[in-house]
Amino acid sequence: MPELPDVVGFQRYLEATSLHQRVAKTRVNDGRLLEDVTAGRLARCLKGRRLEGTTRHGKYLFARAGEGWLLLHFGMTGDLHYWKGPGTDPDYAQVIFDFENDAHLAYINKRILGKVGFIHDMDGYIDRQGLGLDVLAGDLTGGRFAKLLAGRSGPIKARLMDQSLIAGVGNIYSDEILFQARLHPQTDASDLSADDIQKLYRVMRRVLRVAAGKGGDLGKFPRGYFLPSREKGAPCPRCGGEVTKIVVVGRSGYFCPQCQKPTY
DNA sequence: CGACAAGCCTGGTAGC
DNA sequence: TGCTACCAGGCTTGTC
Q: Does some domain include residue A262? A: no
DSSP track, A4-23: HHHHHHHHHHHHHHSTT-BE
Hey, which bits of A12-84 come out as E strands? 23-28, 51-57, 60-65, 68-73, 78-84
pLDDT at res. A66? 93
Question: A228: domain range?
Answer: 135-255
DSSP SS3 for A213:
helix
For nucleic chain C, which protein residues have CB less than 7 Å from any of its atoms?
Answer: A 32, 110-113, 152-155, 158-159, 162, 189, 249-250
Q: Is the CB of A209 under 7 A from strand B?
A: no
User: HSE-up of A198 (CA within 13 Å, CB side)?
Assistant: 4
A43, A25 contact by CB (below 8 A): yes
Which amino acid is it at A148? L
Q: Does some domain include residue A260? A: no
Last residue within a domain, chosen from A93, A128, A163: A128
Q: Which of A210, A209, A212, A245 is nearest to A224 (CA)?
A: A210
CA A35 to chain centroid: 18
Q: Is the CB of A252 under 7 A from strand B?
A: yes
Co-location of A234 and A119 in the same domain: no
Q: Does some domain include residue A66? A: yes
Return the number of other C-beta atoms located less than 10 Å from residue A139's C-beta: 7
> CATH code at A74?
3.20.190.10
Q: Does some domain include residue A148? A: yes
Q: Does some domain include residue A261? A: no
Co-location of A97 and A197 in the same domain: no
Residue range A69-113, pLDDT digits in tens: 999 999 999 999 999 999 899 999 999 999 999 999 999 999 999
Distance CA(A174)–CA(A156), nearest Å, equals: 9
pLDDT at res. A1? 66
**A235/C7 CA-to-C1' distance in Å:** 31
**A154/C12 CA-to-C1' distance in Å:** 28
Co-location of A149 and A251 in the same domain: yes
pLDDT at res. A55? 96
DSSP SS3 for A224:
coil
Please state the domain count of chain A. Answer: 2
Residue range A42-61, pLDDT digits in tens: 999 999 999 999 999 999 99
Q: Does some domain include residue A48? A: yes
> CATH code at A181?
1.10.8.50
